[in-house]
Amino acid sequence: MLTPVLHSLLIAIASTSLAFLTMLPLSYYFANRKSRFQLIVEIIILLPLVLPPTVVGLILLNLFGKHDLIGAFLWNTFNYSFIFTLAGAVIATTIIILPIMYQGLKSAFLSIDHDLVWAAQTLSANAKTIFLKIILPNCWQPILAGILLSFCRAMGEFGATLMVAGYIEGKTNTIASGIYFMVQQGDMRTAIYLGLINVIIGVIALLVIHILTVRQTNLTRGM
């Protein structure tokens, strides 16, 4: 029972980290300036939010399969395939949580009082200094809330992960897929245990998000 929990935590941590690192510069850029490509880029990023996870998984299968576009190159060059691996589950989960991460980060950056940025610019502060000394200290709480929300979504991902990584006990099984197959096998005891672990993690994360939101609200009102 411990293996699917460890797999889910590993996938959630890795995918949340990847989503954060890729969406941080993009969300900061689009929060501060307009671009002719913004609509197209945002549609691509947000598309998994309106698609069934199984459709996302199907698209990834047709990209990373051994005889498909990216997958054929990886297999022929490195003799490696993402299909039926934890790495494939990480990729699938990352795609699923990109919209949540992007929206959370962008909202955090849009909440910044631009008078603070303007004041720093008049004092000849460069872009790096403004980001590290002005932006992050004033919006780290909503940023952290967005990260936690993405992490929770990653912990519960099922459809796309199952399509790409499958269910191989001891290798690619997760909490979500474990619950499904335990129910199919009539092992309700294990399924309930796995469900309770996921619920506990989710409740803790939501409590932290609530605290961060309240603190950010109070901080905004006090300014």
The pLDDT tens digits for 47-77 are 999 999 999 999 999 999 888 889 999 999 9
- Domain membership flag for residue 121: no
Domains: count for the chain: 1
Question: Is the confidence at residue 219, as pLDDT, over 70?
Answer: no
CA distances from 54 to 81, 146, 166, 210 (A): 19, 24, 12, 31
Higher-pLDDT residue of 220, 202: 202
**Structural Rg of the chain based on CA atoms:** 20
Angle between helices 86-110 and 38-50 (to 10 degrees): 120
Higher-pLDDT residue of 217, 180: 180
- Domain membership flag for residue 155: yes
Nearest to 48 by CA among 65, 39, 60: 60
- Domain membership flag for residue 131: no
Half-sphere exposure of 139 (CA within 13 A, CB side): 24
% of the chain surpassing 90 pLDDT: 71
- Domain membership flag for residue 35: yes
- Domain membership flag for residue 90: yes
- Domain membership flag for residue 81: yes
Q: Using CA atoms, how far apart are residues 114 and 133, in angstroms rounded to an integer?
A: 14
What's the mean pLDDT when you consider all of the chain?
91
> What's the CATH code of the domain at 49?
1.10.3720.10
Note the residue count of the chain: 223
- Domain membership flag for residue 16: yes
Domain that residue 178 falls in: 2-111+142-222
- Domain membership flag for residue 214: yes
CB 138, CB 61: distance < 8 Å? no
